[in-house]
Amino acid sequence: MLINCVAYEDGVKLADITTSEISDYLARPQAFVWVALWDATDDELREMQEEFSLHELAVEDAHHGHQRPKIDEYGDSLFAVMQLVEMEDSELRTGEVAVFVGQNYILSVRNRSRHHFLGVRERCEREPELLRLGSGFVFYALMDAVVDRYFPLIDELESELEIVEAQIFVKGSARTNVERMYDLKSKAMVLKHAVAPLMEAVSKLHGGRVPHVCARTQDYFRDVDDHLTRINASIDTIRDTIGTAVQVNLSMVTIEENEMTKRLAAWAGIFAVATAFAGIWGMNFKNMPELQWEYGYPTALCVIAAVCGLLFRRFKRSGWL
């Protein structure tokens, strides 16, 4: 559906226009048109293709969706794809926004996401001196909004990781910890797939041969690249920490198993002594004085209990029990 279609000139909003009026404003040398679509239909994309002379391959990518973040050049225009990642019910959901940028137009097509860009339009309209830079600045503002939404996700992943790390040394929580850490790792990978390719693509907008539509906004895209670099480093740190936490968790499992083995060995040793005494006095030899003694049975029980108690004390002091 069409969200809005607005014409601007010299950094000032001219009017909300209909799609049939787009060509009239494109003919004005200092004007540009900003159109936003949400889950666009085939007819809407076809209409935009005709109005802005969009490349058919770019339109096809925007229509099919599920694209890797990228920035492609088609003559004097750009086609960019950015992933919109949002947290929903403790799960990361991924949508995307495709952006077509020309000298006198910018078209954003948002798919499978409830994130809107109304705040971006308001921000641009509050800064007419920057909006005067044209569609290149609007492209930067859209990209900056997408990238800024990654920071809260990083904070949430780090907070969740801290909670899991605090549970590592709690006995009996090993399986739960591993499951939660692998869930965190999968979330980090979702974010990594959104950030890393975009970081690679943005580098061509502020260094070397910069596309003409971004020629006056290189510094702004350099700032976006800096944000992406920080986010990518945070993701790598989270992944490394998860790997370390998994190793520590497995080490704790091994320690717990060793402690259990020591306990079993200690109890086995205690019962082995009792079994040895019982086996000796249970042999049917004729000349065994203890068997005929009046106090032989209680004395044998006392000896067994005393020896087992002594072993229990020694095992307890050594930390086996």
- Rounded Cα gap, residues 288 and 119, in angstroms: 98
Q: Which of 86, 80, 77, 113 is nearest to 99 (CA)?
A: 80
- pLDDT at residue 11 greater than cutoff 90: no
Domain with CATH 1.20.58.340 in the chain: 254-317
Q: CA 215 from chain center: how many Å?
A: 33
Predicted pLDDT at 320:
59
| Domain 254-317 fold | Methane Monooxygenase Hydroxylase; Chain G, domain 1 (1.20.58)
Domain with CATH 3.30.460.20 in the chain: 1-127
**Span 222-237, pLDDT tens digits:** 999 999 999 999 999 9
Predicted pLDDT at 35:
92
Q: Residue for token digits 């949400």?
A: 38
pTM: 0.78
**Span 228-280, pLDDT tens digits:** 999 999 999 999 988 888 888 777 777 677 777 777 777 777 677 777 766 65
Predicted pLDDT at 212:
85
**Span 292-321, pLDDT tens digits:** 666 666 777 777 778 777 777 776 776 656
**Span 146-167, pLDDT tens digits:** 999 999 999 999 998 888 888 8
The pLDDT of 42-49, averaged and rounded, is 91
| Average pLDDT over the chain, rounded to an integer | 85
- Partnered with residue 70 across adjacent β-strands are 81
The CATH class that applies to domain 1-127 reads alpha beta
As given in the structure block, the two tokens for residue 54 are 């969009």
Q: Residue for token digits 């200092």?
A: 30
